[in-house]
Amino acid sequence: MTARYDDHLDFRDSEFAGPVVGKVEYHQYQPAPTALDSLPARAAGFTGRDDELHGLLEALDPTQPGPQAVLVAAVSGLGGIGKTALAVEAAHEARNRGWFPGGTLFIDLHGYDDAPVTADLALQSLLRALGTQPKHIPVRAEERAAFYRTALARLAREKGPALVVADNASSVAQVRPLLPGDSAHRLLTTSRHKFPTLGARLVALDELSTESACDLLGRALLTANPDDARLMDDSASTSALTKLCGCLPLALQIAAALLIADQRMPISELGRALSASRNRLDQLDDGDRSMRATLELSYRALPEQHARLLRMLAVAPGPETGIDALTALLGDGESPLGDLAALERAHLVERGSGRHRWRMHDLVREYAVGAAEGSATLVDEAAAARGRVLDHYLQRTAAAVARLRWWPGTAVSRRFESRAQAISWLDTERANLLATIQWAVEAGHASAVIQLGDMLGRYLYFRRYFDEFVVISSYAQEAAERIGDHEAEARAWNDLGLALRSADRPDEAISALVRARELSKAVGDRNGEAYAWNYHGSALRVAGRLQEAADVLGQACELFQAMNDGNGEAYVWNNLGLTLVDMGRPEEAIDAHTRARDLFREAGNRDREAKAWHNTGYALWCTGRVTEAVHAYEKALETHREFEDWHAVGETQQHLAEVYEAVGRHTEARACWLHAADAYLQADAEREAAESRERADALPAT
CA distance 200 to 186: 11
Say yes or no: 178 and 150 in one domain: yes
For the chain, the domain total comes to: 4
Q: What proportion of the chain, given as a percentage, has pLDDT over 90?
A: 80
Residue 360 CA neighbour count, 13 Å, CB half: 28
Say yes or no: 358 and 411 in one domain: yes
Contact 418, 426 (CB under 8 A): no
Domain span at residue 408 reads 311-443
Quick one: average pLDDT of 10-22? Answer: 60
Residues 120-168 have pLDDT tens digits of 999 999 999 998 888 888 888 889 999 999 999 999 999 999 999 999 9
> Is position 542 within any domain?
no
- pLDDT for residue 681: 94
> Is position 230 within any domain?
yes
> Is position 218 within any domain?
yes
pLDDT band at 17 (very low <50, low <70, confident <90, very high): low
CA distance 260 to 221: 6
> Is position 549 within any domain?
no
Q: Quick check: 34 pLDDT over 80?
A: no
CA distance 419 to 642: 10
Q: How far is CA 250 from CA 90, 100, 346, 486, in A?
A: 19, 30, 18, 53
Say yes or no: 88 and 195 in one domain: yes
Quick one: average pLDDT of 268-288? Answer: 91
Say yes or no: 193 and 222 in one domain: no
- pLDDT for residue 29: 42
Contacts of 174 (CB under 8 A, 6+ apart): 109, 111, 116, 117, 118, 119, 122, 166
Closest CA to 163 of 90, 64, 65, 256: 90
Packing angle, helices 646-662 and 606-622, rounded to 10: 20
CA distance 458 to 153: 72
Say yes or no: 61 and 196 in one domain: yes
Contact 229, 196 (CB under 8 A): no
Say yes or no: 246 and 315 in one domain: no
Contact 359, 319 (CB under 8 A): yes
105 beta partners: 164
Say yes or no: 395 and 266 in one domain: no
Q: Quick check: 24 pLDDT over 60?
A: no
Say yes or no: 149 and 190 in one domain: yes
pTM: predicted TM-score of the whole model, two decimal places:
0.84
Residues 326-366 have pLDDT tens digits of 999 999 878 899 999 999 999 999 999 888 899 999 999 99
Residues 509-556 have pLDDT tens digits of 999 999 999 999 999 999 999 999 999 999 999 999 999 999 999 999
Domain boundary among 443, 467, 484: 443
- pLDDT for residue 223: 92
- pLDDT for residue 701: 73
Query: CATH number, domain at 665?
Result: 1.25.40
Q: Quick check: 451 pLDDT over 80?
A: yes
Across all residues in the chain, what is the average pLDDT?
A: 91
pLDDT band at 76 (very low <50, low <70, confident <90, very high): very high
Domain boundary among 395, 417, 443: 443
Say yes or no: 194 and 216 in one domain: no
CA distance 158 to 156: 6
Lowest mean pLDDT: which of 6-15, 431-440, 468-477, 622-631? 6-15
pLDDT band at 16 (very low <50, low <70, confident <90, very high): low
- pLDDT for residue 4: 47
Residues 389-421 have pLDDT tens digits of 999 999 999 999 988 876 656 666 678 888 889
> Is position 579 within any domain?
no
- pLDDT for residue 407: 60
Q: Quick check: 18 pLDDT over 70?
A: no
> Is position 72 within any domain?
yes
pLDDT: is 182 or 243 the higher one?
Answer: 243
- pLDDT for residue 91: 96
Q: How far is CA 315 from CA 49, 293, 299, 379, 593, in A?
A: 32, 21, 16, 11, 50
Say yes or no: 317 and 368 in one domain: yes
Query: CATH number, domain at 149?
Result: 3.40.50.300
Q: Quick check: 610 pLDDT over 50?
A: yes
Say yes or no: 198 and 56 in one domain: yes
Give the SS3 label for residue 73: strand
Say yes or no: 184 and 148 in one domain: yes
- pLDDT for residue 140: 87
Domain boundary among 415, 443, 471: 443
Contact 615, 578 (CB under 8 A): yes
Q: Quick check: 210 pLDDT over 60?
A: yes
CA distance 159 to 86: 26
Q: Quick check: 1 pLDDT over 60?
A: no
> Is position 19 within any domain?
no
Contact 186, 60 (CB under 8 A): yes
Q: What proportion of the chain, given as a percentage, has pLDDT over 70?
A: 93
Alpha-carbon dihedral 455, 681, 673, 610, rounded to 10 degrees: 20
pLDDT band at 244 (very low <50, low <70, confident <90, very high): very high
- pLDDT for residue 27: 44
> Is position 63 within any domain?
yes
Q: How many CB atoms lie within 10 A of CB 582?
A: 16
